[in-house]
Amino acid sequence: MSKYDLGVIGGMGPMATSMFYERIIERTQANCDQEHLNLIIFNHATMPDRTKAILSGEHQLFLEQIASDLHAMESLGVKHIAIPCNTSHYFMKQMKAMTHLNIIDMVEETVCAIKEKFGTGARVGILATHGTIFTGTYEKACIANNLIYVKPNPKMQDQVMKVIYDIKAGSFANVHDFESIVMSMVEDGNCDAVILACTELSIIQLGEIASTYCVDAMDVLVEKSIEYSGKQYKR
């Protein structure tokens, strides 16, 4: 029997990892301590910046450090791996080749959830880091699932990136300004859904109208992490 249901490679960033763990606890159907997941978290805050690694082409250091974490998870008897960092999923193929453990693919699971909810041909907006936008990680997944991918214009993308790095720096995001970005994607981009494709964005408390259109990739990862671990997701 495996010692841990779930291994979390976190720290990218630390606040997002903390929120991921809180949501795992809140959304696991459990009546006592013993009915929650056995999990272990590596808060690997010194992991190289994923966007910088992608844009510079200097992948090796990130891959070496993620490989070390995966091998450590194997030795600890983990069954499934969750990585609450959208940008890192650019390296999913390489990461899966490093281990026999099941790495939950947040990108693929999120796009499949949108297709199930909104149907084939839905227009899907993406709010993410420069690295995620540049690599087309979600774009490729949308195309493969017959969804129409819509990305922000350059000015809007810079605004999203500022919000992300403000949160990483411990600053508060301007919720009103961010909701304006979401609604611009819906109204100007004619999007049926908008993916919050950076775990820092999951921290923002959106109002009722904006949240109606948003699909939070972290929430999808939380749900799948609970289900893969053999527990019931509490809606």
- Domain containing 39 — which CATH number? 3.40.50.1860
* 78, part of any domain: yes
Q: Catalytic annotation on 85?
A: yes
Residue where the block lists tokens 């013993």 = 34
At a CB cut-off of 8 Å and minimum separation 6, what does 118 contact?
124, 192, 193
Tell me the residue range of the domain where 138 lies.
Answer: 107-217
Is a pLDDT exceeding 90 seen at residue 163?
Answer: yes
The predicted model gives 157-181 an average pLDDT of: 91
Residues 122 and 210 in one domain: yes
User: Please, are residues 202 and 16 in contact by the beta-carbon 8 Å criterion?
Assistant: yes
Q: How confident is the model at residue 2 (pLDDT cuts 50, 70, 90)?
A: low
pLDDT > 70: percent of the chain: 99
pLDDT in tens, 35-65: 999 999 999 999 999 999 999 999 999 999 9
Domain total in the chain:
2
Residue where the block lists tokens 């053999």 = 230
* 54, part of any domain: yes
Residues 171 and 202 in one domain: yes
Annotated catalytic residue, options 85, 142, 191, 214 = 85
Residues 224 and 195 in one domain: no
Q: Give, in order, the Cα–Cα distances in Å from 215 to each of 105, 117, 175, 198, 212.
A: 16, 10, 17, 11, 8
Residues 17 and 93 in one domain: yes
What's residue 235's pLDDT? 86
* 234, part of any domain: no
The predicted model gives 85-96 an average pLDDT of: 96
Residues 126 and 166 in one domain: yes
Annotated catalytic residue, options 142, 191, 198, 214 = 198
Residue where the block lists tokens 């990585």 = 83
Q: How confident is the model at residue 171 (pLDDT cuts 50, 70, 90)?
A: confident
pLDDT > 90: percent of the chain: 94
